[in-house]
Amino acid sequence: MRCEELATLAGVSIDYYTRLERGKETRSSPGVVDALARALKLSHDEHQHLRSMRSRAAVWTGRRPSTTRT
């Protein structure tokens, strides 16, 4: 799947998705992570792994991820 297609399916801009993919955006919301997981048709375990990576990225940059679900 192309980046543009994934961004569209997840409901995020291509620029935002590109920043996520390159690791330049580390404060994604749980809603964005969930939308990406749905767009990629991830299994439950894969989805949980993606959420875990989001949390680790936020800790690595010194920012706590929000826990609010959208």
Assess if residue 36 is contained within a domain.
yes
Retrieve residue 56's tokens: 């680790």
Instruction: Encode pLDDT of 39-62 as tens digits.
Output: 999 999 999 999 998 888 766 655
pTM above 0.85, yes or no: no
Residue 67 in domain? no
**Distance between CA atoms of 46 and 63, rounded to whole angstroms?**
23
Q: Does residue 41 belong to any structural domain of this protein?
A: yes
Q: How many domains does the chain have?
A: 1
CATH code for the domain in which residue 21 is found: 1.10.260
Residue 65 lies in a domain: no
